[in-house]
Every structure is written in C-alpha cells, then in structure tokens.
Amino acid sequence: MPTKTNAARILDAAGIHYELREYEVDEDDLSAPRVAEKIGMPPEQVFKTLVARGDRLGVLMASIPANTELNLKALAGASGNKKVELVAVKEVLGLTGYIRGGVSPIGGKKAYPFYLDETAILFDVISVSAGVRGCQLVLAPDDLARVTEAVYCGIS
C-alpha cells in the first residue's frame, strides 16, 4: 500500500477521491514525461508543478502537462505580475518543503497562489506529485482546483 503523504491526508480531510500511484524513481531522469510513462498515463495528463517568482506578487506555483514548457509571459499576465521567473532548484525545498521531482501543489509549507493549465479540464483525471518522488496523486482536475484554490489559465 502506498505511503500516505501530507497531500493525500489533506485530500482525505477534504473528502476528495484520489488514487496514489507509486513508481520507481530514476535519479538520472526525474522528467515528467518519464514519470508519465512509469505510471501508465499519457504525458498530457500528468502535470508537473513548477515554482516561480513574480516581480510584483512573489512566489507562486503552476502545474502544466509533462510534455509542455511553462509560458512565463502567460503566467505573468494571469498572476498580475509584469515578469515571472522560475526559482532556482536550490530554493525549492526552502519555499515549499518539497524536493525537485516531488513538488506537489497540495500541502506545501505555505499556500502559494496556484495556476493550473486550462488543458487539465479536458480530462476526467490528471496526475500531480503526491509530495515525494516516486508517488503521484491521480484526481479530478476540479477537485485539485478546489483544494488548492487554483486559477485555470493557458500557461503552457
């Protein structure tokens, strides 16, 4: 049975249905497309969560499909910033409590504004990190949006 992460406990408390999918971690390839392959889902349905910093409103999080790149200009516009940049990998743990390859939009150190790529609504379920490498949460995008107070926008 997969280990319950903080993110999973938050979903339990909110009464949200989800599935945990564990996979073998490859330290040499932490890429989201590789995770998608390992959990048996198409990359457009597996969402990677990135941590960014806006010039006006500070730290925020964004989830986009595994096979896409974050559109920083679109994220800046959606978040009310003039400019947004990804934070350095060395800052991720301190800001979120999560390590690279295990950043979940749920249950971080602080509830940062969260932006979910609008393509998520094309699927009954999507996958996001459960908060540790080697474990993904599979849940309905609207449930994820509700628990994280996500803003849907075109950011990929």
Each residue's pLDDT expressed in tens, for the chain with a length of 156 residues: 556 899 999 999 999 999 999 999 988 888 899 999 999 999 999 999 999 999 999 999 999 999 999 999 999 999 999 999 999 999 999 999 999 899 999 999 999 999 999 999 999 999 999 999 999 999 999 999 999 999 999 999
SS3 107: coil
Is 66 in contact with 60 (CB distance < 8 Å)?
no
3-state secondary structure 78-91: HHCCCCEEECCHHH
Q: d(Cα 113, Cα 41) in Å, to the nearest integer? A: 27
DSSP-derived letter for residue 100 is: T
pLDDT at 109: 93
127 CB burial (10 A radius; 0-12, 13-18, 19+): buried
Measured CA distances, 101 to 9, 81, 129, 133 (Å):
20, 26, 8, 6
pLDDT at 1: 54
Handedness of CA 53, 119, 40, 114 (dihedral sign): positive
Which domains are seen in the chain, by residue range? 6-153 (3.90.960.10)
